[in-house]
Amino acid sequence: MDKQRLEEVARAIVQTGKGILAADESSPTIKKRFDSIGVESTEANRRAYRELLFTTEGAEAFISGVILFDETLRQSSEQGTPFPRLLAEKGIIPGIKVDKGAKALAGFAGEKVTEGLDGLRERLAEYRELGAQFAKWRAVITIGDGIPTRFCLEANAHALARYAALCQEAGIVPIVEPEVLMDGGHDIARCRDVTAETLKRVYSALFEHCVYLEGTLLKPNMVISGKACPQQAGPEEVAAATVACFRQVVPAAVPGIVFLSGGQSSQQATENLNAMNAMGPQPWELSFSYGRALQADTLKAWKGQRANAAAAQRAFYHRAKCNGAARKGAYSRAMEEAA
């Protein structure tokens, strides 16, 4: 294992003022996003949309890495440049989603476990050849009546740790993503408790599997009110609760925490990240790895029309810039109005 190289890549991803674009929607998920704007999910449309994102001029000032889906890693720009090379030429690090999705956990109603370990060593070797320098595996934890169970947390932590160890063996930085979903009427305290319990088990599994933490990144949910909770915590409360929770359970050896947006509005996701960074330095960098919160406005502006490409790229650039500012606690509402 080239520990030094792993650490260098992890640190480059969480460098000041930059974060990750998660553009790794699986085929069913990108279909959902395209359905929302009335665009058919064909290979050509998916390619065109991803090209639009990746060629947005200047976005590399705020985007350090992009997570791709298997199909996208193998696609090229209209001019014939493979996407991983196109990104690398802009100084953006290409990454790859390697899990095969969260499936129902047999015997545990309402809970899921992520699949994809079989054959992963071989797939990682190929992804590395294709230019991926980091990877992502997402575990899904649902809050509900009597769940998550300890068994579900352990099953997911175990899979995350096996994935992370395989990535490092292949010279790929693993992004470890245990997502506690926002769905439900639970309050922020319950989210904090479940998030802390989840992360304790994840780090305990990572230790047992001899994962080199300096060469990993964590991609978690923020500690936040459930979507249907009548009492919605604002940015200061979310920031304080998230940082306090993570300080208890995330080792300082981890270079960075790259939050997912998880269904927050674009602006909410930016405001919450900004509030955390405004609290001052922490043991790890606090950054973003947003899918929806970076792309929602872009999709709406694009609508599948080539004529809308420039407007769509402006929308993407704007959100990337706002989140780049939030990395330093320097975001303000005025940035939205100025745009």
Beta strands in the chain (DSSP E): 19-23, 63-68, 93-97, 102-104, 112-114, 134-141, 173-180, 217-218, 256-259, 285-290
Binding of ligand 13P by 262 (CB under 6 A)? yes
Is residue 177 part of the annotated active site? The answer reads: yes
Is residue 112 part of the annotated active site? The answer reads: no
Cβ-in-10-Å burial (0-12, 13-18, 19+) of 278 comes to middle
Q: Which of 46, 123, 138, 192 binds ligand 13P (CB under 6 A)?
A: 138
Closest contact distance (angstroms) between CB of 129 and ligand 13P is 23
* First-residue to last-residue Cα distance in the chain: 45
- Chain positions 9 to 28 lying near ligand 13P, rule: CB under 6 A, are 22
Binding of ligand 13P by 312 (CB under 6 A)? no
Binding of ligand 13P by 318 (CB under 6 A)? no
Cβ-in-10-Å burial (0-12, 13-18, 19+) of 50 comes to buried
Identify which of residues 83 and 288 has a Cβ nearer to ligand 13P in the complex.
288
Identify which of residues 81 and 232 has a Cβ nearer to ligand 13P in the complex.
232
89: alpha, beta or left? (left if phi > 0; alpha if psi -120 to 50): alpha
Is the previous residue joined to 148 through a cis bond, with omega within 30 degrees of 0?
yes
Binding of ligand 13P by 292 (CB under 6 A)? yes
Closest contact distance (angstroms) between CB of 218 and ligand 13P is 13
Catalytic member of 97, 112, 136, 219: 219
Identify which of residues 53 and 293 has a Cβ nearer to ligand 13P in the complex.
293
Binding site for ligand 13P (CB under 6 A): 22, 138, 177, 260-262, 290-293
Active-site positions?
177, 219
